Amino acid sequence: MNEENPRFAPRPDTPVVLSTHGLTKDFRDVRAVDDLDLAVCRGDVFGFLGPNGAGKTSTIRMIFGLIYPTEGHVEILGHRVPDERQEALRHVGGFVDDPIFYGNMSARRNLRLFGGMNGPVSEERIGEVLEMVGLSTRADSKVGGYSHGMRQRLGIALALIHRPDIVVLDEPTSGLDPAGMRDVRGLVRDLATTGTTVFLSSHLLHEVELVANRAAVITRGRLVRQGAVSELRPARSAVRIKTGDQARAWEVLRSFGGAGGLVEEEEYIRVSAPDDQVPEMVRRLVAAGADVEAVIPSFEQGLEEMFLEMTDADESKGAGAPTEG
């Protein structure tokens, strides 16, 4: 991947099914999305990452044709949005913001009603998608009594009801407890195994890292990097170290030239360093009499560190008006 040009980075052997071309959106004097080029390949779980207000939701609204771009366009399986919105959206399911349903109706009736707006839907298919999202036992309960997580899962069921080629999910784990997040992650993985392309917007970087194979990072409406998740990891990773003498270990690590970002985490010291220098750190700790009891890779620092590094750099170059969405 060419880091100097963060634009299109599709896999050469896989067709692009969703792309944006110079996509730009202005709201009066605020530029929410700025010349955005994305390429999502068939079968991807594509993470669309950025802090709140980075322009993610505005981008998804343009993908669905809910708002019109100021410049540029979206392309879905050869159809342009907004010009060919109806044809394009036949291939897409999903939701933007929180999915909304009639609280006085059951989940089954909601799916029958909303699913039927986009073509015939069988009772068998309604049962299938409710089973897929784990709501089959509550299918005939009123949605008004559902938890937030159950509503999110019902939104995913509706997104799947017409077997779309591409599913677009806007912050699907927002507001969920850890169990709900785990359920959504499992559902996304299941979709990927069936060949469905998933476009997953989130500011929860660790959640995306657990399920996505490719990702794009935006801030202030601008693309700063896209490519394979493995390529987006920072050159430096983090490990957590526990020794028999943490005070001595702290002094050794602080003086080690390749180490940085020392942080106390309960009984551990988290330190950032290139992977190939970790063995030398361990040798120096042992030589200094700080017996090493554990060295644990700190996986959660992967995309998180990369994201902060890139967005901080972008912010320092482009301070100005805030974005929306």
Shared domain for 196 and 269, answered yes or no, is: no
- Is residue 320 a part of any domain in this protein? no
pLDDT at 4: 39
Tokens of 5: 């040009």
Q: What is the pLDDT of residue 234?
A: 58
What SS3 string covers 99-129? CCCCCCCEHHHHHHHHHHCCCCCCHHHHHHH
Say if CB 252 and CB 266 are below 8 A apart: no
pLDDT at position 276 is 75
The tens place of each residue's pLDDT in the chain, 325 residues long, gives 333 344 455 556 789 999 999 999 999 889 999 999 999 999 999 999 988 888 999 999 999 999 999 999 999 999 999 999 999 999 999 988 888 999 999 999 999 999 998 888 999 999 999 998 889 999 999 999 998 888 988 999 999 999 999 999 998 887 777 888 888 888 888 888 888 999 999 887 777 888 999 999 998 899 988 988 877 765 556 788 898 898 898 888 888 865 566 788 778 888 877 777 888 888 989 999 888 998 887 654 455 556 666 666 555 555 444 445 5
pLDDT attached to residue 135: 93
The beta strand positions in the chain, using DSSP E, are: 16-27, 30-41, 45-49, 71-76, 79-81, 92-95, 166-170, 197-202, 214-219, 222-228, 236-243, 260-265, 268-274, 292-297
Residues 28 and 61 in one domain: yes
d(CA 229, CA 11): 13
Q: Are strands 45-49 and 214-219 parallel, antiparallel or unpaired?
A: parallel
CATH of the domain at 123: 3.40.50.300
Number of domains the chain contains: 2
Q: What is the CATH number of the domain that holds 279?
A: 3.30.70.100
Q: What do you get for the CA distance between the two ends of the chain, in Å?
A: 28
Cα–Cα distance between 154 and 131 in angstroms, integer?
11
Structural contact between residues 134 and 174, judged by C-beta atoms closer than 8 angstroms: no
Q: What's the confidence (pLDDT) of residue 193?
A: 86
Please check whether residue 288 lies inside any domain of the structure. Answer: yes
Q: Out of 232, 251, 273, pick the residue that ends a domain.
A: 232
Strands (E), 77-207: 79-81, 92-95, 166-170, 197-202
Residue 317, in any domain of the structure: no
State phi, psi for 46 to the nearest 5 degrees.
-105, 115
On whether both 24 and 74 belong to a single domain, the answer is: yes
Contact 285, 249 (CB under 8 A): yes
Domain for residue 279, yes or no? yes
pLDDT the model gives residue 3: 39
Residues 69, 199 within the same domain: yes
Domain, as residue range, for 293:
236-303
Whether residues 134 and 212 share a domain: the answer is: yes
Taking the C-alpha atoms of residue 182 and residue 157, their distance in angstroms, rounded to an integer, is: 16
Phi-psi sector, 77: left (phi>0), alpha (psi -120 to 50), beta = left
